[in-house]
Structure 1
């Protein structure tokens, strides 16, 4: 059983869309989980229709939604303090040292992050790369295992079948509760899931097909001499 799990993604809602099922599994086993969120998603394009936020209010709103999602998932939250859509321009070594310091404080047995170059968004790729670098800087005998999540459309063709597959089809509503907390970003999917029409039921089945499995690669660090 894991001692402590740390999830490191760049945006509010990444934890819910990407790993809520895995997080729920660990929490049911009594394993502590901490989410290190890189940014507040302040550059997100979804301002609502009608508009419910602007550039000044959006980060406050998304932080409130993130706090609520973490309550639903029963996990601790720490904000890393970077700016949305700029992580790729940060010094990777500095970000890695920052993350390393937090990880050494928490002392997890498992870290979950994005797989660099196969995570679509530049923030995903950059923070995933910095996280993997951070763990690689730790003592090889005590460093945590890293699960890296690839989400690009072609990742399996290049990387092969993922090592870990968490199937949560039977518990999908639990994941949806966390997703729903991010109302500003998930309003469309919320309507799709909770409408009582043939179209909404079809959309729900499609979403379960897409989001019902959370898959990860175990990062292979070179063996030291």
Structure 2
């Protein structure tokens, strides 16, 4: 049976930042990967760009990683606390449709209000599968590095190339190629590999 992986990204680019290298690895190994972005952040678009620019950028980025199953929603950025029931209902519909074995979501220690709601509702919606929280140091005061996925240069380069699609976000420090590679080197060193991505274990289900 093919392993089904669901990546839940509160906003476009969160999934690539948190587990882009792992996504590329999973797809190359034959896993079925679905990427869901709950918001395309129209309110946050710089005025010089069209309102749909982030939806275009996420399509380009996920294509580089090899994703063919991309699902985009339009929940309003920074309003997830108000919309949490609708988000839960959406996640339950996704669960019933995809029936994933493994779900990637933000960390429980993520301080962004939209990310906090995403992981809380993910925990409510997905009770029968493994849940891993991905790392985003700019939002994490603490992060429990309890699971690691070793990566090769090829997967890190795909992650960097995918993130390069976000022209609208290029000024963000966490999109800097040196930062992306440096974090992967740090996590790789912890498990005596060249590169890795680290995750918080929210729930581990062994079938």
> How do 1:30-179 and structure 2 match up within 5 A?
30-44=30-44, 47=46, 52-53=48-49, 57-58=50-51, 60-75=52-67, 76-90=69-83, 92-116=84-108, 118-136=109-127, 143-151=128-136, 152-156=139-143, 160=144, 162-168=145-151, 170-171=153-154, 172-179=156-163
1:209 partnered with 2:182: yes
**Counterparts of 1:10 and 1:98 in 2: how far apart (Å)?**
13
Q: Does the 8 Å CA contact 1:150/1:216 hold for their aligned counterparts? A: yes
1:43 counterpart SS class: helix
**Counterparts of 1:100 and 1:12 in 2: how far apart (Å)?**
20
Bigger Cα Rg:
1
**Counterparts of 2:110 and 2:183 in 1: how far apart (Å)?**
15
Alpha-carbon shift at residue 94 of structure 1 (Å): 3.9
Segments of structure 2 that go 5 or more residues without pairing to the other structure are 186-195
2:122 counterpart SS class: helix
Q: Does the 8 Å CA contact 2:18/2:135 hold for their aligned counterparts? A: no
Residues 43 and 163 of structure 1, relative CA distance in 2, 3 Å threshold: same
- CA RMSD of the aligned region, Å? 2.7
**Counterparts of 1:165 and 1:3 in 2: how far apart (Å)?**
18
Q: Does the 8 Å CA contact 1:119/1:149 hold for their aligned counterparts? A: no
**Counterparts of 2:12 and 2:148 in 1: how far apart (Å)?**
23
**Counterparts of 1:4 and 1:164 in 2: how far apart (Å)?**
18
Relative to the length of structure 1, the TM-score reads 0.74
